[in-house]
């Protein structure tokens, strides 16, 4: 296997960056949408419950099926792969955002209101900071999911390390499969580690969510 890695080092590096690009782009898009939407949903509990139920149902659809459905709409390549992965990692972030905001003590909100804080100030200076540990926990979970699921993006021509796994299966080449699997696992661990450092940096110790 070492010889295989040495001979294909350049292409493996390129595919690893491609895999990371697809994964991170989908994750960032999910964060940008899920966090503000999650906060807004907490304003109406009934809508929040319905929205999370619908999102949970949609997530039960097999990943390959979602990727296949993207082809008639967006063709093949990275765009449909990113869109499909975006929908899959949206739920954990959305769910944790809603739970994080709803778990804030009502007395804390009332204290903010009594100080004359507007709804926006209350959200920005009270709700979001207190819900941040739970939100980051959802983001870390989603980061592991998206890197794993991005392997299937190769199915619709998006590239990434999934190319090595699918080609390895077709050619019965265990070196391709094992090498790609190790790199995907390493990527997931690396991204989770980086997010844990960010969490440690921006979240006060007393507010951290144990994992």
Q: What is the CATH number of the domain that holds 9?
A: 1.10.3720.10
Tokens 């807004």 found at: 40
Of residues 1 and 92, more confidence is placed in 92
Report CA torsion sign: 97, 98, 103, 104.
positive
Residue 154 has pLDDT above 90, yes or no: no
Give the range of the structural domain holding residue 156, as residue numbers without chain letter: 2-207
144, 135 contact by CB (below 8 A): no
Residue 108 has pLDDT above 90, yes or no: no
Instruction: Give the separation between CA 44 and CA 39, rounded to whole angstroms.
Output: 10
**pLDDT 10s digits, 5-63:** 888 889 999 999 999 999 999 999 999 999 998 888 888 777 777 877 877 777 777 77
Residue 205 has pLDDT above 70, yes or no: no
Instruction: Give the separation between CA 39 and CA 143, rounded to whole angstroms.
Output: 20
Residues of the chain with pLDDT > 90: what percent?
A: 32
* Token code pair at residue 166: 């699918």
Residue 159 has pLDDT above 90, yes or no: no
126, 48 contact by CB (below 8 A): no
Q: What is the pTM of this model?
A: 0.86
- Confidence band of 3 (pLDDT split at 50, 70, 90): confident
93, 138 contact by CB (below 8 A): yes
**pLDDT 10s digits, 6-16:** 888 899 999 99
Q: If 0-12 CB within 10 Å is exposed, 13-18 middle and 19+ buried, where does residue 75 land?
A: exposed
When divided into structural domains, the chain yields a total of: 1
């Amino acid at each position: 296997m070492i010889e295989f890695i040495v001979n294909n080092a350049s292409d493996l590096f390129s595919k690893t960056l491609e895999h990371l690009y697809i994964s991170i782009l989908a994750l960032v898009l999910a964060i940008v949408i899920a966090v503000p939407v999650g906060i807004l949903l907490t304003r109406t509990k009934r809508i929040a419950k319905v929205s999370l139920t619908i999102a949970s149902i949609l997530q039960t659809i097999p990943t390959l099926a979602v990727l296949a459905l993207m082809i008639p709409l967006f063709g093949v390549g990275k765009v449909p792969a990113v869109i499909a992965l975006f929908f899959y990692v949206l739920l954990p972030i959305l769910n944790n955002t809603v739970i994080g905001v709803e778990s804030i003590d009502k007395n804390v909100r009332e204290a903010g209101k009594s100080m004359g804080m507007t709804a926006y100030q209350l959200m920005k200076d009270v709700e979001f900071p207190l819900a941040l540990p739970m939100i980051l926990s959802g983001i870390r979970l989603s980061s592991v999911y998206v890197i794993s699921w991005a392997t299937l993006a190769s199915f619709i021509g998006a590239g990434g390390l999934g190319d090595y796994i699918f080609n390895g299966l077709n050619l019965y080449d265990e070196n391709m499969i094992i090498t790609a699997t190790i790199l995907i696992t390493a990527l997931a661990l690396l991204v989770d580690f980086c997010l844990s450092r960010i969490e440690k940096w921006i979240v006060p110790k007393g507010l951290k969510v144990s994992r």
